[in-house]
C-alpha cells in the first residue's frame, strides 16, 4: 500500500542533478539543444510539485564549471536558454511567490545575463519558497572560494570567532540555505559530479534511470516515498 502524502516526511530542501538531456534528445532523434530546452521546461513542473507538497528549497544543477569545456555551440545554446528562462519565467515566479537565486561563479557569465539574474533576484527576494540554480558551479571551487574569503577576513580583522564548521559554512554560496535533505539524480548515473560537496554530507541520495525531460510526477512521488522511509541518523545511533 502506497504511503499517503499526509503521512510522509517531506524534505525541506531537495537538490537535483538534472542529467540526461542529451541522451533524451538522441533517443528522440532531436538536436542536443532540444534536450536542454525540454529539460528547462521541466523546471516549472517540478516547482509546482514541490510547492504542492511543501518543499521550501529546490536547488538545480544547471551548469557546472566543467561544462564550459563543451563545444562553443552547445555552451552558447545553454546560455541563450538561461537568458530565455530569466525572461519568460519572471512573471510566473512572481505570481507563484518563488524566490529566485543563483549560486556559482556568476562573473563567468555575460554581463547582460548577470544583470538579468540580479534583477530577478531583487524582484523575488521577499518570497519564501526558493528556486536556486547552480550555474558555473563546482563544489570544489566553492570550498576554495570560501577558504579564500575567510583568509581575507582574517587578514583584515573582520573574521569573528574561531573557525568551525558553522562559521565556514557561512562563507559558502549557500551560507543562508539549509543543506539538502535529499539529492535526486536522473539518468541512472551514480556519482555526485562535484555538486554541493560540503552540503551533501548527510543528504539522502535517490537515483532514477529516468532521463530528466521525462521525469514525471510519479517519479517525483517515488523519490519522496523513498526519502520518507529512510531513517536519518546524521552519523549517530537511533535510540
- Residues labelled catalytic: 19, 67
What distance in Å separates the CA atoms of residue 17 and residue 64, rounded to the nearest whole number? 10
Sequence-distant (≥ 6) Cβ neighbours of residue 194 within 8 angstroms: 64, 65, 66, 138, 139, 140
Cα angle 225, 99, 202; round to 5: 40
Cα–Cα distance for residue pair 128/13, rounded to 1 Å: 12
Query: From CA 185, how far away is CA 163, in angstroms rounded?
Result: 33
Residue whose cell numbers read 516526511: 9
DSSP 215: -
Amino acid at each position: 500500500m502506497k504511503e499517503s502524502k499526509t503521512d510522509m516526511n517531506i524534505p525541506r530542501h531537495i537538490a537535483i542533478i538534472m542529467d540526461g538531456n542529451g541522451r533524451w534528445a538522441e533517443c528522440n532523434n532531436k538536436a542536443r539543444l532540444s534536450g536542454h530546452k525540454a529539460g528547462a521546461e521541466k523546471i516549472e513542473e517540478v516547482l509546482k510539485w514541490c510547492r504542492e507538497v511543501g518543499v521550501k528549497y529546490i536547488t538545480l544543477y544547471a551548469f557546472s564549471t566543467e561544462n564550459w569545456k563543451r563545444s562553443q555551440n552547445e555552451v552558447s545554446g545553454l546560455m541563450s536558454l538561461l537568458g530565455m528562462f530569466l525572461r519568460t519565467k519572471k512573471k510566473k515566479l512572481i505570481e507563484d511567490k518563488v524566490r529566485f537565486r543563483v549560486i556559482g561563479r556568476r562573473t563567468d557569465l555575460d554581463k547582460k545575463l548577470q544583470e538579468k539574474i540580479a534583477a530577478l533576484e531583487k524582484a523575488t527576494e521577499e518570497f519564501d519558497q526558493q528556486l536556486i540554480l547552480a550555474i558555473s558551479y563546482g563544489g570544489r571551487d566553492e570550498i576554495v572560494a570560501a577558504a579564500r574569503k575567510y583568509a581575507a577576513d582574517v587578514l583584515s580583522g573582520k573574521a569573528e570567532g574561531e573557525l568551525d564548521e558553522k562559521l565556514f559554512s557561512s562563507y559558502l554560496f549557500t551560507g543562508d540555505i539549509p543543506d539538502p535533505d535529499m539529492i535526486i539524480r536522473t539518468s541512472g548515473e551514480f556519482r555526485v559530479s562535484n555538486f554541493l560537496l560540503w552540503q551533501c554530507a548527510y543528504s539522502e541520495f535517490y537515483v532514477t534511470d529516468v532521463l530528466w525531460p521525462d521525469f514525471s510526477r510519479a517519479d517525483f512521488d517515488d523519490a519522496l516515498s523513498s526519502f520518507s522511509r529512510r531513517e536519518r541518523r546524521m552519523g549517530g545511533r537511533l535510540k
